[in-house]
Amino acid sequence: MELDSHRIADLALYLTRMQRSILDKMFFMDKVFEPFRYVLDFGCANGELIRAMMQMFPEYHYLGYDISREMIEAARCHVPDAAFFDDWAQIRIPAEKSLINISSTIHEVYSYGKEADIGTFWDRVLGSGFQYVTIRDMMFAQAENAPVRAEQLAAVRESDCAELLESFEEVWGKITDQRQLVHFLLKYKYTQNWEREVQENYFPLCTEELMERLPASYRLVYKDVFTLPYTAWQIRKDFGFELTEHTHIKLILERIR
């Protein structure tokens, strides 16, 4: 999977925004109880999540994986006590004693990967035999979709974001349902990296499709669908309405066989 044509224009800003939700991204650490030794952060970026977990939970061995060499080099400088890889084949840990964490990665794999890349991703995550698989990403439930709320769309069109909305619709088509509007509302603040962000598909899978993909070798031990509080606050502030649809999902899977 090649990322050179999708480089982040303002990397510092991108990483700063990632840090805002760092506590929420380690949601699983107080919800898994079978002993394990290794935590592998898949799509680790600059290692900020690993750095935070190491400070709070120093008893584990931490590893990070990212296909971006730039991110891995930054992570090695940022968190020198952890191990970081941009080559999956170099990761050598016992899966049966490991937790793999997938945070804000699914939508990027689908946005920038080919069909073979997507298949490889799921094989690595769900087919490698990790004791725990934890997932946190943007996700929209098909059951919550409905025709767009006209008053909400009008509020956006009449705001300072009208030009961004036009740009979004040039890529994704005219907004006719609530899923499309929520898609825009999750990305309109990323103006500094807009050329990249507007092309990303934040909802490549619906919640129902993700749940159907989970193999019988794992049991679901935790599930939460929610609206990111910061996003809901920002939308109230900018547009004057309450976002009631769920925008994110958290899952914890435990291997049973």
231 and 243 Cβ atoms separated by less than 8 Å: yes
The CATH number that applies at residue 92 is 3.40.50.150
- Residue at 191 is within a domain: no
- Residue at 61 is within a domain: yes
- pLDDT tens digits for range 2-26: 444 444 444 454 444 555 678 899 9
Mean pLDDT of the chain: 92
- Residue at 154 is within a domain: no
- Residue at 50 is within a domain: yes
- Residue at 99 is within a domain: yes
Distances (CA, A) of 53 to 36, 98, 175: 15, 15, 40
Rounded Cα distance, 81 and 225, in Å? 33
* The 3-state secondary structure of 37-67, one letter per residue: CEEEEECCCCCHHHHHHHHHCCCCEEEEECC
7 and 30 Cβ atoms separated by less than 8 Å: no
- pLDDT tens digits for range 129-139: 999 999 999 99
- Structural domain harbouring 40: 4-142+201-255
- pLDDT tens digits for range 223-254: 999 998 889 999 999 999 999 999 999 999 99
Q: What is the mean pLDDT of residues 161-167?
A: 96
Q: What is the mean pLDDT of residues 143-157?
A: 97
Instruction: Return the pLDDT at 21.
Output: 75
Largest CA-CA distance found in the chain, in angstroms, rounded: 55
Cβ neighbors of 93 (< 8 A, separation 6 or more) are 38, 40, 61, 63
Instruction: Return the pLDDT at 178.
Output: 97
Q: Domain count of the chain?
A: 1
- Residue at 170 is within a domain: no
One-letter amino acid for residue 99 of the chain: L
- Residue at 135 is within a domain: yes
- Residue at 25 is within a domain: yes
